[in-house]
Amino acid sequence: MTACFAASSGQSIPTYVVSPQNFDEFRQSLDAKTKSWVKSNQFSGKLGQALVCPDQEGGFDRALLGIGTPEDRKRARFCLATAAQKLPPATYHLANDFDLPSKDYELFGWLMLGYSFTRYKETKTPVPSLVAPDWADRAKIEAMVQAETLCADLINTPTNDLGPAELEKEARELASKFGMDFKVIVGDDLLSQNFPMIHTVGRASASEPRLIELRHGTKGPKISLVGKGVCFDTGGLNLKPASSIGGMKKDMGGSANVLALTRMIMDLKYACQLQVLIPAVENSVSANAFRPQDVLISRKGLSVEINNTDAEGRLILADALAYAGERDPDLIVSMATLTGAARVAVGPDLAAFFAGSPKNAAALRVSAEKAKDPVWELPFFEPYEDLIEPAVADLDNAPSGGRAGAITAALFLRRFVPNPDRYIHFDIFGWNLTTKPGRPFGGATQGARAVFHALDDLVNP
């Protein structure tokens, strides 16, 4: 099922958004019969309440949605969707003004009720549809929905149908849709073109490793987006346990988020010189897999000792970040399902991020709230630099002890960018563990909307 606005046909049901604060005033506007119906159904505007009022012909005269108090709303990301999900399938339009922050993203949440992953099993559950209000920024909302569903579909697709080659195909199709330049470096060509760590991580798989690149624009700020594309992560020779290997189709969630952000930028015609880089690999086990205690020489020339083959994401990102930095961009953003430590720190629903500039961190916090895309800053904590410096190489890909894992991973990546003040790194989960209103189970964007809405601030010193 797709998530989109319904066509305006004149047959939609007028829908009133009500809170406990304005309920008494709203009730006074109702006729006696409707007042009685509202009272008998104990509707009072509480968060998540939904009520349809019958008409004389057995249809619906109107619908009421409760959005609760400001305190209630702190626990619900999408208040309209929390109530609208309980409406019977029909087409609705909003008939009154209401006081909610980020009203466009309340509509986004409603539209996302219509998403389901149907590649392997058709879902026939009907949902309430919504006509776009006159006040809504329809182009923006629909662009965000399309980006979200692109990301979800990519992450939800298993690796037998979305390995490195198939991820390349998806990126190529996106580039073609928007007239972007497209390039890919595959297999041993990675060695001849100096992307040794991408090659090393992916060489054990039957599906060759590759670096996917999309470009667009010749004017405006230079923006580079780098997304981790580990299409499946066994952990390599440091094999993952059964308890964690099952979810590893989503280890390309960083690349899916970067492609979603790319779609937002292109759909809404943000003027910039855009570069998108996706190192796409499978971290597999075979006779030629890389080993613990191997020392790799990166594109930047830094040597890296391998102390855990399951810390592979930072290796492929490092080569891509070094390449991105060679064009001296105004902004580099990396997105990756990188560490379990970030999930321990902030849980699955917050996107942990690291920003070299306090100004950029502040801009992201503001835009995240507006876009209903929660983020939380973690520090590039300088005293932990010693933890990523082993005795035998410049860098250690997996410091012993397991402490501050998200921070040490971010510090590792920062070594490969030319200007840390212009660098932002997201360590995301990329997955909704359960279905919640406007947030279907499975693959999801995290941080992408926040970045998009902050771009003007992020690219200006």
Phi, psi of 132 (to 5 degrees): -65, 125
Stretch 442-449: mean pLDDT = 99
Q: Name the residue type at position 414.
A: R
pLDDT tens digits for range 68-78: 999 999 999 99
Q: How far apart are CA 292 and CA 453, in angstroms?
A: 41
pLDDT tens digits for range 301-359: 999 999 999 999 999 999 999 999 999 999 999 999 999 999 999 999 999 999 999 99
Per the CB < 8 A criterion, the answer to whether 51 and 16 are in contact is no
Burial (0-12, 13-18, 19+ Cβ within 10 Å), 58: exposed
Domains of the chain (ranges plus CATH)? 13-131 (3.40.220.10), 141-458 (3.40.630.10)
Active site residue 240: yes
Coil, strand or helix at 370: helix
Stretch 157-162: mean pLDDT = 99
pLDDT tens digits for range 79-118: 999 999 999 999 999 999 998 999 999 999 999 999 999 9
In order of 203, 258, 358, the CA distances from 285 in angstroms are 10, 27, 41
- Candidate from 123-127, 372-376, 378-382, 443-447 with smallest mean pLDDT: 123-127
Active site residue 314: yes
H helix runs in 268-356, sequence order? 313-325, 340-346
pLDDT score of 137 more than 90: yes
In 342-389, where do the E strands start and end? 351-355, 375-377
pLDDT score of 416 more than 80: yes
pLDDT tens digits for range 426-435: 999 999 999 9
pLDDT score of 451 more than 70: yes
Per the CB < 8 A criterion, the answer to whether 339 and 409 are in contact is yes
- Pair of tokens at residue 395: 């860098």
> Can you give the pLDDT at residue 35?
97
Query: How confident is residue 10, by pLDDT bands cut at 50, 70 and 90?
Result: confident
Q: State the greatest distance between any 2 C-alpha atoms of the chain, in Å, as a whole number.
A: 82
Q: Which of 300, 314, 422, 439 is catalytic?
A: 314
pLDDT score of 442 more than 70: yes
Q: Which of 240, 359, 365, 370 is catalytic?
A: 240
Q: Torsion over CA of 277, 327, 146 and 161, rounded to 10 degrees?
A: -10
Stretch 218-227: mean pLDDT = 99
Residue for token pair 């305006």:
8
> Can you give the pLDDT at residue 2?
62
Per the prediction, the chain carries an average pLDDT of 97
Per the CB < 8 A criterion, the answer to whether 387 and 404 are in contact is yes
Query: Does the pTM of the predicted model rise above 0.95?
Result: yes
Beta-carbon contacts of 430 under 8 Å, excluding residues fewer than 6 positions away, are 151, 155, 250, 253, 254, 256, 257, 337, 443, 444, 445, 446
- Pair of tokens at residue 234: 């066994």
How many residues are given for the chain?
461
pLDDT score of 439 more than 70: yes
Q: How far apart are CA 318 and CA 437, in angstroms?
A: 37
Q: Is the C-alpha dihedral spanning 392, 398, 402, 408 positive or negative?
A: positive
Q: How far apart are CA 82 and CA 68, in angstroms?
A: 10
- Pair of tokens at residue 391: 């005795």
> Can you give the pLDDT at residue 283?
99
Q: What is the DSSP letter of 388?
A: G
pLDDT score of 1 more than 70: no
Stretch 357-383: mean pLDDT = 98
Query: How confident is residue 3, by pLDDT bands cut at 50, 70 and 90?
Result: confident
Per the CB < 8 A criterion, the answer to whether 291 and 306 are in contact is yes
CB atoms within 10 A of CB 203: 20
Beta-carbon contacts of 76 under 8 Å, excluding residues fewer than 6 positions away, are 47, 48, 68, 82, 437
Burial (0-12, 13-18, 19+ Cβ within 10 Å), 190: buried
In 375-422, where do the E strands start and end? 375-377, 395-396
